[in-house]
Amino acid sequence: MSDPIIDVRDATKTFGGLTAVDRVSFTVTRGEIFGIAGPNGSGKSTLFNLMTGIPYGPTNGEVRFNGERIDGRPPHAIARSGLCRTFQKDAEFPDLSAIETLQISAVYSGGQSAGQALENARRAIDRVQFDEARAHMPSSELSVYEKKQLMIASALVSEPSVLMLDEPASGLTKPEIERLDALLVDVNKSGVTILLIEHVLSLLLSVSERLLVLNQGAILAEGLPADVVRDPAVAEAYLGG
Ligand code: ADP
Ligand code: MG
């Protein structure tokens, strides 16, 4: 039967009088690609923040990872336990090469030695099919797609069991989105559970086994993508939002 890797119960995050995430509960099954959709401002990024503790945990509710409570743990402890994420805005080091960026990520996220970090950096480069020849040039010279590959590799460098991606397709062309689609499927097949926030619906519907839709911080719909997109409440939220 289903093997839960993440269990979120009644997660809530308030900012003063605003409830950005409102008693959200869901379970992610080990090995799946779990999609998260919703109009702008519906609480998607806040949900990732409270799950990873970066930069805050939930105001109320519980987050379990492999059956253990992680809400309230420091962000580095959550990352080291195997829950890693990317951000909507990729913080890059323009002067550093991809391989240097990944070595730094490895040292900080995994607490690894320099030698181990280089090995993991090379493995991460491989896993995202980054062009070896371009791994040594300054990151500022990389293409938009290569920066995305680097962002994903940075999250993979500590070999997480769960990868959380916040709108990775933004700024990509259609053929690049198709490459990203294949890359995510490939990473998932290597045993990584993926949580994907994405406003590019073609990508979300193509890769997600299940879909959660947020609206104004609360769950609007959840289920198989084909069923969720047919839900009139979902169309209403997108058109009215
Ligand atoms: P999404 O990622 O779905 O676009 P967010 O999670 O970024 O939405 O934001 C959800 C709501 O919470 C929005 O109304 C946003 O303005 C608000 N919000 C997010 N972060 C903060 C913050 N640090 N302080 C105050 N309000 C915030
Ligand atoms: Mg967001």
| Strands 218-223, 210-215: pairing kind | antiparallel
Gap from CA of 137 to ligand 2 centroid (Å): 30
Q: Residue 67 contacts by C-beta under 8 Å, 6 or more apart in sequence?
A: 4, 7
Does CATH number 2.60.260.20 belong to domain 1-82+161-241?
Answer: no
Instruction: Region of 148 please: left (phi>0), alpha (psi -120 to 50) or beta.
Output: alpha
In tens digits, the chain (241 residues) has pLDDT values of 589 999 999 999 999 999 999 999 999 999 999 999 999 999 999 999 999 999 999 999 999 999 999 999 999 899 999 999 987 665 578 899 999 999 988 887 766 788 888 999 999 999 999 999 999 999 999 999 999 999 999 999 989 999 999 999 999 999 999 999 999 999 999 999 999 999 999 999 999 999 999 999 999 999 999 999 999 999 888 766 4
Gap from CA of 225 to ligand 1 centroid (Å): 25
pTM of the model: 0.95
The pLDDT of residue 90 is 59
Task: Domain ranges for the chain, please list them.
Answer: 1-82+161-241, 89-159
Gap from CA of 200 to ligand 2 centroid (Å): 13
In short, whether 17's Cβ falls inside 6 Å of ligand 1 is no
In short, whether 42's Cβ falls inside 6 Å of ligand 1 is yes
Atom number, ligand 1, closest to the C-alpha of residue 217: 10
Neighbours of 74 (CB within 10 A): 12
